[in-house]
Structure 1
């Protein structure tokens, strides 16, 4: 079995198959390479298959902020089985991750915490617990929303520098930003006609409050998508032709977040089709966006 087989299984929601592939991979690993300090953090494997029932567990967050937010949904299930759980996560996320039974520690890449009885990387939790994404709470973060207008749309067009193919050129969002009441969720200045041309604060609690106050978030595949999904906000996700393993470009929905819609490219590098689909779908709710709602925009978007 290959990584392509695993990706196909995850996209098709054949989780038992995906976990069988992961089990085969785990069994074939050399234990001496576990949490290998010679490798970059995002390439390491951590969990060696040992049970975490009634044991002290250290959950390490070696991937991106979005990965941590996506898999934080599994922490309550882990805490219910372990004697104690410590989440070693980036300090920027701590204000969002108040989970009963889970203690927080700041992840310092230069000085990671020493091993516990059981160590596991947070993205390994679904496999280790054998819990599908739809079998745990999908809206598991909660913050007080910023006081925004009921028709505010949050826009995020940039992802991490390591994959700029996920980025949408800012200028392509000008028609959307000009036609609607929009807010930037990018932490950089913009020339788009948005409420905050100076950009979104580089502060995750403040960003989360803005996301929570939006009626809709339109974003590329980045941390903002996971933050909006975990907050239960309607989210329209712009995807490159061959997206990350967690999104199935043949679907419009996702098991990870029931409030998300997928808008994949039809041709590599061409954002015209997904943006046209977003524009068409927004037109359906034009009456709401012009302040004449029969019900809230959020309710209409989810309907």
Structure 2
């Protein structure tokens, strides 16, 4: 699954372009005519001429000499820092700009350039203080409030970022980027309706921006407004960063029209979990009279072999049959005019291989005790924000009558990741296939042998949900749009319960609620109740 940040970075400064940095001209006049001395003026003037000619190496040399002559002069350190930054010499630029700031701590241009350098060097937390100082001194300084908002978003403080972006919008209401980023601050606070208002402004100001449209789509989908949300989400494939477009020259995109007698290629996009979730649409296409071809990620081919509605299943890299049209998998909700009330069901549409399920039932029984509640767990997702620190599962491992089994796949093919033995999590031995990737076939078989799956928002949770198995899905503060804002249930998987964070970064709270529910399950089983 792909997680979009949905906000623009600050614009970057280039020292050798005609649009020189804010304050450059005033600083130059001051430095040249303040009676600093002939040698200083000569070196400083030479540096300026080199900058004008685009010779930044020579300019840096001249400014260094000027700084040696007048080390107490903030101007020369300021321009030296800009030139070194333009040369990509971050350490030198940091030293020069820090010296300039020390000599003139309340200068707006130096504060801005210092903070911009810190953001560029991925130190947004250090950039917050100078940007706050700058906004306090000169609220209208170009890009100051916008950059402060970006720095605060990068350190996960969207409430404060909201205030900064509001100021940026107030100062420049025609800025599509500021309105877009204000929307991102709202969405990061789980306020999708407010986010949509700001994203709509961004779209009106920059109607050709694929990013603004896509962000609007995400906010609308999160709020459960599928009809408009899926239409706006279609803009995702026009983003420059998009990497899942399929190049099939001469094959048109399916526009949602009649499919009777036609062969349609549906190709995957984004993550493994997305494929498992949205492949439910294949029977919908089949019911429209189409012959269906699905192109999947290679690791999923064996797992998806028996999914209903697929006439031909191919893995990326394998030859494709001739088709009449194609469509990205996650465009099917829009093309099929899905609403939150008409999400296709069909669960279970994934099933475990009977032989592998029998094999793993024996292994599971050998690893535990009769009567225990068997809980399969996955803690690590592709995105760090969706991953659960493994130690948070300690609450579950300490429950009486419960045995935890690892479903976490390692990075290498055909291997499980072995958790810390201190938590008592079972890593099932003797994977079949002699090190070959089992393509999630064994994962599904082990899921079949569990009483419950507890997973982060990842492919394992989707597989278990598509199999109709009981799942406790642990979601971060900002859950993905597909889970909408429903409190604890999802129309995608009827046997899945959602456990959302009540406040940001509170995995402890999520796991405490999950542990309490599992304890109830254990008690009901002990009492002979279902």
TM-score using structure 1 length: 0.81
Quote the residue 2:520 is aligned against.
284
Note the C-alpha offset of 1:84: 1.6
**Pair 1:171 & 2:378 matched:** no
**Pair 1:124 & 2:335 matched:** no
**Which structure ranks higher in relative contact order (CA pairs < 8 Å, sequence separation ≥ 6)?**
1
**Pair 1:13 & 2:247 matched:** no
Note the C-alpha offset of 1:12: 3.8
Note the C-alpha offset of 1:90: 1.9
Alignment CA distance shift 1:177-1:200 (3 Å): farther
Note the C-alpha offset of 1:20: 4.6
**Pair 1:269 & 2:524 matched:** no
**CA distance in structure 2 between the aligned counterparts of 1:293 and 1:54, rounded to whole angstroms:** 56
| Greater C-alpha radius of gyration | 2
**Pair 1:49 & 2:258 matched:** no
**Pair 1:138 & 2:347 matched:** yes
Within a 5 Å distance, the mapping from 1:185-264 to structure 2 comes to 185-187=407-409, 188-191=417-420, 192-196=423-427, 203=438, 204-249=440-485, 251-264=487-500
- Aligned 8 A contact 2:227 2:334 in 1: no
Alignment CA distance shift 1:55-1:7 (3 Å): same
- Aligned 8 A contact 1:219 1:238 in 2: yes
Which of the two has greater strand per residue? 1
**Pair 1:88 & 2:295 matched:** yes
TM-score using structure 2 length: 0.48
Deviations 1:242-294 (A, max 9, x none): 12111135511111111111112233322111111111212212224xx6252
Note the C-alpha offset of 1:83: 3.6
Alignment CA distance shift 1:165-1:21 (3 Å): closer
| SS of alignment partner, residue 292 of structure 2 | strand
- Aligned 8 A contact 1:153 1:214 in 2: yes
- Aligned 8 A contact 1:184 1:199 in 2: no
What stretches of structure 2 of length at least 5 have no aligned partner? 1-199, 201-212, 366-370, 410-416
Which of the two has greater helix per residue? 2
Alignment CA distance shift 1:230-1:199 (3 Å): farther
What stretches of structure 1 of length at least 5 have no aligned partner? 297-303
**CA distance in structure 2 between the aligned counterparts of 1:217 and 1:112, rounded to whole angstroms:** 36
| SS of alignment partner, residue 85 of structure 1 | strand
Alignment CA distance shift 1:209-1:279 (3 Å): same
Note the C-alpha offset of 1:21: 3.6
Quote the residue 1:301 is aligned against.
none
- Aligned 8 A contact 1:190 1:197 in 2: no
- Aligned 8 A contact 1:241 1:249 in 2: no
- Aligned 8 A contact 2:452 2:471 in 1: yes
| SS of alignment partner, residue 92 of structure 1 | helix
| SS of alignment partner, residue 266 of structure 2 | strand
**CA distance in structure 1 between the aligned counterparts of 2:229 and 2:430, rounded to whole angstroms:** 40
Note the C-alpha offset of 1:169: 1.0
Within a 5 Å distance, the mapping from 1:56-95 to structure 2 comes to 56-95=263-302
**CA distance in structure 2 between the aligned counterparts of 1:152 and 1:190, rounded to whole angstroms:** 17
Q: How many residues align?
A: 282
